[in-house]
Chains A and B, each alone.
Chain A
Amino acid sequence: MVSIKAYIATRALLTIPMVLILLTFVFVIMRILPGNPVLALIGMKASEETIKSLMEQLGLNKPLWQQYFEYIYNLLRGDLGRSMIWGRRPVINEIMNRFPATIELTIGGFIVSILLGLLTGMIAGVKPYGKIDATMRIYSIFVYTLFIPLIGMIFQYVFGVYLRILPVGGRIDPTLLPRQITGLYTIDSLLTLNFPAFISAVRYLILPSFTLGLVLSGVYTRLVRSSLLEVLSQDFIRACKARGLPNRIILFRHSLKNALIPILTMMGLQFALLLAGAVLTETTFSWPGMGTFLMERIQYRDFTTVQGTIVFYALFVALISLLVDIIYAYIDPRIRY
């Protein structure tokens, strides 16, 4: 029996190679792939001198191995470099300005997807192998293949233009901006007891969250279904039935809790899907998060910021997968072997 602290330490150590691989991979993409990043980013029309001075400025004239070690060394110090435009601000500061918006959206999307997934998965799992089950299976394929921008625009049209009950884009009514604490407007407005701001933030959050959540809910439909089926076939459920417990109690009090454990393990990968989906959702709803930030800087050919943002995504994904595993270890003691 290993203690939970030892497990966390081992798991955290395992994150190091993963992070190194991802960082190396980003480096390879940015420097070694055919196509000079400077040319790709400042355009083919640049003069010889511009290209040369820019290469020097970015350290691209040094040997590759030296560039690589400087890159890793700077990252270890938490330095993602400086932006190539607008006063050369540190990339990390700019990212931190946009990061909370993405977190808020992904949490919103996550809540919607897990609620829809639980609902549809339970409907399918309670009466398996029938027509309802088949419908839910089709549902899970259908929503997964929906194209986020299309669904987003349809929602914008129906709820924003036709029914006029929800805003079509942005994060909050600019006149109601709450004092910044966490950067998550819903949380900040609650912390400062600014209820009009809270309501505004939630109203702006609804459509993007539903768009993102709906598309990703199909994955949970299946997970919940298969996980529930497995739990329902176990002996302790038969014991519950033998004691004459009503189905509702068996389902909600005894099965669901156990069925949710395997779903947790998938949350790490699911989070990657949320982040990818968030890029499209943000672009559709002009949501000022990391995704729109990345796309803006690609357009401005701000090479260092693009690289820094991708690196930030990589670190964030590694951190989330570590966290998910730790939470899992707390909830399910079997994993600690």
Chain B
Amino acid sequence: MRTTDLIPREFWRKIRDAGIDGYMVIVGLMIVITAVILALFAEFIAPYDPIQRVGPPVSPPSTQYLLGTDSIGRDVLSRLIYGTRTIMIVILISTVLSMSVGIPLGLISGYIGGKLDRLLSLIMDSIYAFPGLILAIAVAAVLGPGIYNTSISLAVVYIPTYFRMIRGHVLSLRETIFVEAARAIGAKDRRIMLKYILPNTLFIITVVFSLNVADAVLTEAGLSFLGLSVASPTPDWGFDLKNGQRYFLSGYWWPVTFPGIAIFLLALGFGLLGEGLNTILGKEEI
């Protein structure tokens, strides 16, 4: 089976013909797929145990330690690979959480309208206006460290984003002819929402998902840089970067630079993917 068969042929053609947006989607996908592979198969790819001391502290990149070792002699490359798993799990759980709250609420709020809609919108807009990272810090500080707690902190931040996007989209879909037709033949509200409106929001969900995850990667890294994410010694990019900070200005650049680049690349991957998809899919939508 060729890789292209995994994606509907028509979609693939669109990406190929989209110029710069197509490249953005391809590069983004490559980064994201690499991260998924690293996260899934960390045991087989990482050369050393990420939480054991395997060599002298802060030894520079060499053939033995490809990206060098950190301040207590752990292999930077292995921590980087296992760190992919940490951040991907947090992102996955938090996204599922914020989607499963934000999407249904947005759907109902936009479809039903009225007082409920006004109240929900006011609440969501208020939370949306609050600085995301600071909100995550507040939740994380109360919940304490750990993968699930960090995921919850992130999920809280991104619920309003999904809500607002879906609601806005539902508002315009509600007035379309096919929804009116469904209503005319006597379809129940529940059925209209699930069978007629929801499938038509899938494209916006995909786009918001990618752009949101780009942001969530940076927020997770920020939380962990501030020491509020998973507990050490779990490999976590932001926290590793923080640990290296003390030695960075003395010239030990590798414990900081590599996790930093990893954070940047992963956020960039999702960002490019979301941007490209937004333009490619957005064009035909209008």
- A-to-B contact residues, CB < 8 Å: 17-18, 21-22, 25-26, 29-30, 33-35, 37, 40-41, 134, 137, 141-142, 144-150, 153, 156-157, 160-161, 168, 268-269, 272-273, 275-277, 279-280, 283-284, 294-295, 298-299, 306, 310, 313-314, 317-318, 321
Contacts and interface: CB of A to CB of B under 8 A. Distances in A.
Interface in B260-278: 260-261, 263-264, 267-268, 271-272, 275
A168 B129 contact: no
Given A18-B122, A160-B249, 20 more contacts: A17-B122, A22-B130, A29-B139, A33-B142, A40-B143, A137-B275, A141-B268, A141-B275, A144-B214, A148-B222, A149-B241, A149-B245, A153-B260, A279-B134, A280-B133, A299-B227, A310-B138, A313-B130, A313-B134, A317-B130
B141 A150 contact: no
A18 B126 CA distance: 6
Nearest to B222: A280
Contacts of B65: none
B268 A22 contact: no
Nearest to A150: B260
Secondary structure of the A contact surface, majority rule: helix
A21 B122 contact: yes
B277 to A, nearest CB: 13
Contact of A317 (B131, B218, B261): B131
Closest 8 CB pairs of A and B: A150-B260, A276-B131, A145-B267, A276-B133, A21-B126, A272-B131, A145-B268, A147-B263
A33 B226 contact: no
B141 A146 contact: no
B131 A275 contact: yes
Interface in B197-239: 214, 217-218, 221-222, 225-228, 238
A153 B141 contact: no
B141 A298 contact: yes
A22 to B, nearest CB: 5
A272 B130 contact: yes
A190 B83 CA distance: 48
Contact of A321 (B129, B137, B226): B129
B134 A298 contact: no
Nearest to A160: B249
B73 interface: no
Contacts of A284: 245
Contacts of B225: 149, 280, 283
Contact of A153 (B226, B227, B245): B245
Contacts, number: 141
Nearest to A14: B122
B138 A146 contact: no
B246 to A, nearest CB: 11
B138 A29 contact: yes
Contacts of A33: 139, 142-143
Nearest to A32: B142
B180 interface: no
Contacts of B238: 147, 149
Contacts of A298: 137, 141, 228
Interface residues of B, number: 49
A37 B142 contact: yes
Contacts of A25: 126-127, 130
Contacts of B133: 276-277, 279-280
A314 B131 CA distance: 9
A18 B125 contact: yes
A149 B127 CA distance: 25
Nearest to B268: A145
Contacts of A161: 249, 251
Contacts of B143: 33-35, 40
A59 B14 CA distance: 61
B123 interface: yes
Contacts of B249: 153, 156-157, 160-161, 168
Question: Which has the most chain A C-beta neighbours within 10 Å: B141, B267, B268?
Answer: B141
13 contacts: A17-B126, A21-B127, A33-B143, A142-B268, A144-B214, A145-B268, A157-B253, A160-B249, A275-B134, A283-B226, A294-B134, A295-B227, A310-B134
B22 to A, nearest CB: 12
A40 B144 contact: yes
Given A272-B129, A313-B134, A321-B129, A141 B222 contact: no
Interface-central residue, A17, A29, A168, A275, by most chain B CB under 10 Å: A29
Contacts of A280: 133, 222, 225-226
A50 B61 CA distance: 49
B248 A295 contact: no
A152 to B, nearest CB: 9
A150 B241 contact: yes
B134 to A, nearest CB: 6
A306 B228 CA distance: 14
A314 B225 CA distance: 23
A150 B175 CA distance: 47
Contacts of A145: 214, 217-218, 264, 267-268, 271
A149 B260 contact: yes
A313 B97 CA distance: 25
A168 B246 CA distance: 12
Interface in B108-130: 122-123, 125-127, 129-130
A277 B225 CA distance: 13
B55 interface: no
Nearest to A314: B130
